[in-house]
Amino acid sequence: MYENNYHHVHVNNLIGMIHTGIGPAQVNGLLTGLNIPPGSTRTQQVRQNETGLAVESVVEESMQECLEQEIQETVKYDLSHRMNLLTAVYYIINTWNKVILL
């Protein structure tokens, strides 16, 4: 799948960068602090451009699924809420009819 381990390390680095919301300079600072040789900012930007469209596609699909689920749950809640309201109105009407008949 990957050309070599070097490429794999940069892709993992990029995924960590995206996940934590930090940029190449912060990643390089972290790696330097851990005494790990940092990659070049240019290489990180190239990998980010390579994977950007795939990440956006996954996010878009996930957002669409969540939106559809939210719509379904809203419809269920509205129907349940309306049934509860109709039941309450029915109860009040029946109660008043009994009071009036007494």
Tens digit of pLDDT at every position of the chain (102 positions):
445 555 566 677 777 777 787 877 887 888 888 887 877 778 777 777 777 778 788 888 998 998 899 888 888 888 888 888 888 887 777 777 666 665
Q: How far apart are CA 60 and CA 80, in angstroms?
A: 30
Sequence-distant (6+) residues with CB within 8 A of 43 are 10
Sequence-distant (6+) residues with CB within 8 A of 9 are 39
| CA dist list (Å): 97 to 83, 85, 86, 87 | 21, 18, 16, 15
Q: Are 38 and 28 in contact (CB under 8 A)?
A: yes
- What pLDDT does 6 receive? 52
Q: How far apart are CA 40 and CA 93, in angstroms?
A: 75
- Residue-range definition of the domain harbouring residue 42: 5-101
Per the structure, the count of domains in the chain is 1
